[in-house]
Amino acid sequence: MATFRRNKKTEPPSVSLESVDRSRLPNHVAIIMDGNGRWAKSRGLPRIEGHRQGANSVEEALTACGELGIPYLTLYCFSHENWKRPKEELDFLMGLLKTYLKGQTKRLIDNGIRLAVIGRRDGLSNDVIEVMDQAIERCKHGTKQTLVLAINYGGRQEIVDAVKAIASDIVSGKLRSQDIGEDTISDHLYTVGIPDPDLLIRTSGELRISNFLLWQISYSEIWITQKAWPEFGKPELYEAVAEYVRRDRRFGGLS
């Protein structure tokens, strides 16, 4: 099995499990994994080394969610806009994805983790799609956690695809326009069957959504850390969850 090693020893979480009100834990955490390239550049390393180190943080976040009992984790792995990057970096990212899926599928199965992938398949090579499908099939019986990887994903593109699917259903007579509501749109998104994120985390201090889950995060709590993704670990995820638990979620109403 391929393994990824952190470049430094993981610090113990500053927030203990005992101090977190488990009755208020998020059901779904989504993370915009940002800062790999800048982390590498600040250390005089090639950008691809930042992506390599970032793979360790995937394991940290997944493990922390498992320890806390958070059933859904969505990671923004590769955006629709990332195709603008140099070919060398794109080839490395696709290779890293295949290495991760091949190397970690058994671990996911052993820990009862179901795997899902959201995003467009157009543009992905056949070998990447084959590895993805094999991993999804092998992990389909997981019931403890669901790991969602957003690959070749864009929020606007997802909504466009949903509108096209709804229009097709109207033309075919499966759906009437007057019956369209929020649930109709949700049921035609890539994330159908997956609850909306309660907590959205972004690393590297950027203050933007970057075309990620635009429909689904309408009422998500947002937590931003200055740390780049390769520096993100269990302590940071615990801190984000502890902050989430302290917030008063009103959904437009009153406390």
Active site residues: 34, 82
Taking phi first (over 0 means left), then psi (-120 to 50 degrees means alpha), and beta for anything else, what does residue 72 get? beta
* β 199-202/28-32 pair status: parallel
**Alpha-carbon gap, residue 41 to 16, rounded angstroms:** 33
Which residue, among 29, 95, 99, has the nearest Cα to 62 in the 3D structure? 29
37 in Cβ contact with 50 (< 8 Å): yes
Own/partner pairs for 246-250, CB < 8 Å, 24+ apart?
Answer: 247/221, 249/219, 249/221
**Alpha-carbon gap, residue 224 to 232, rounded angstroms:** 11
Which residue, among 64, 34, 52, 46, has the nearest Cα to 103 in the 3D structure? 52
Which residue, among 195, 196, 199, has the nearest Cα to 225 in the 3D structure? 199
Give the position of tokens 């959904």.
251
**Alpha-carbon gap, residue 213 to 196, rounded angstroms:** 9
Burial class (CB in 10 A: 0-12, 13-18, 19+), 111: middle
Which helix H or strand E contains 169, and what residues bound it? helix 155-172
